[in-house]
Structure 1
Amino acid sequence: MAGVRAMVDLGIDHVPNEYLTSICKGITIKAPNNLPIIDLSGIDSDDLKRKSAAEAIHLACQKWGFFQVIGHGISNELMQDIIKMVHHFFNLPAKERMVYYSTDIYKSFRFSTGSIASAKKKFWSDYLCQHCRPAVHEDDVPESIPNYRKITSNYAKAVDELARKLLRIIAQNLGLGWQILEKHLDPPKQTMKMTYYPQCPCPDQAIGIGRHADPGTITVLQQELGVEGLEVNYNGQWIPVKPVEGALVINIADMLQILSNNKYKSAEHQVLVNTKRPRVSIASFYGPTDDKHIAPLEELLGDNPPMFKACLFREYMDSFYKNHLGTRNIETLRILNN
């Protein structure tokens, strides 16, 4: 399978049957309900700025499960470089891309195309997936892309610093010691998914990525400027998340919902496609290693019972990939008598 980009290059004018997907239509909500944008600049040296940012993050985690950040410390140059690099890869001839093709979800670096394994349906997207922690071996990354390893390693390091900063704030917002969540994940597993959504001849008949919530702890997402696609489920309505220059989208994922014993909830999202131009996004998934057991933190339980069963993260990931997207995988762990 050469991917969606290869079909588009051949001039396909319809959506093949295996890509036909029902889509939850987005509903635009006016400004008061827009995804919050939180400024992190100066929070390490200014207590008032830190308090304001922490309060905004707390409210966003409760209300949305999503928020955007600016002043996050990742340079615009680096953000632009990685977007250009992904476009460079997907502009390579299909034969060169296929050298890296794999369906092994645990491989440290691979090119693949989106699919719903259990439904035998495919998404209108291709992607590069790379392990950042533990680091991918340098021999496994593309030699045909200039500065690939330099750009991705610098980007992964910057995301790691941001994720740790956010986890410290979130831990304190939950009434925990500032290092609790960070220590719980140490060492963290960090994976980067660089997705390419080609233009689609009939965007109402296909979807870039179907409805789902991320399985990890938090996700840091960079959207390409100038083209929309991401939508967040808010109270049953799909809200478009417009790309903002210099901003990164942060979302709460399933493991943080479990660790917080449902105080924060992961949010469902999906990605639409369009007829006009391709779109690139960079999702950095930050969470536990495969051998880590996850359960509601005892420090948060008190007299309250746990709302979720403990799980081994590798087993949770296996379950996530086997289940249909469009279902809440976390519900398989919910203790129903609560």
Structure 2
Amino acid sequence: MTHSAIGRPLAAAAPGARAAGRKRRLTPARIGIYAFLISAALFFLLPLYVMLTTSLKPMDEIRLGSIFALPSNPTFEPWRQAWSEVCTGASCEGVRAGFWNSVAITVPATILPILLGAINGYALSFWKPRGANLLFGILLAGAFIPVQVMIYPLVRLLAGIGIFGSLPAIVLVHLVFGMPVMTLLFRNYYASLPHELFQAARIDGGGFWRIFAYVMLPMSVPIIVVAAIMQVTGVWNDYILGLVFAGRDNLPMTVQLNNVINTTTGVRLYNVNMAATILTALVPLALYFFSGRWFVRGIAAGAVKG
């Protein structure tokens, strides 16, 4: 091999090496992006840091006024009190009851809207019944109506059929308000799938439900994860609907947290309040932490077509 033959690959590789070197340099634009991202992260993490450190401090240390200081004598006693002893109104059973109430509300209020939204999106994407676009537009219009406007009519309706103030009532309300967004998500996702799959299943003799169960649902895992994250977060963090429709026996965790924070009898226990707040937010935080990458994949998969 001649010297010129050896030199040509080296010369060809040199521009790529120089390009990689330029990409690794800290340009003013790159420095600005990093500064913005770090500032945004600190802005959102600082309240969580204050809440966490305060929840681990005894009250004597909190009264010193150093909210940003790390706890010198960490204790988990406020967490235990928040879970099982803190008073929420006349009851002093902690936020434990509200936690299980939120679970009982969130599970059916997540599964049912996702299932019905998947069926609606599948029908609107592949079967396209007469007036499908009009029905879809009417359904989406419901997503833009403020919740507060619908509260009174829903109260009268649910009271008229005898389920107001019960678990089925709050689940039904979340089902109604979650349906437009769930349908939109699944319709856009199914519109991005090859139509030839549906045509092949039809040629093989598949009907509406058979194609949905054996072809569409197994391919819907990414968007199901996205829909589950959105619905669980919305239902778990809801306050106004749970306060109005759940009834006294099914009050969610957010309502009980409000009762804990606004209790004014005796000494205000800031460490217990912070622990109760973190316990209330723990499920959505854990959900995003463990499934965030699936959320991004599902959103990208359903954003190809509209």
- When normalised by structure 1's length, the TM-score is 0.25
Higher helix share: 2
Whose RCO is larger (CA < 8 A, sep 6+)? Answer: 2
Structure index of larger Rg: 2
The normalised TM-score by structure 2 is 0.27
Which structure shows the higher strand fraction? 1
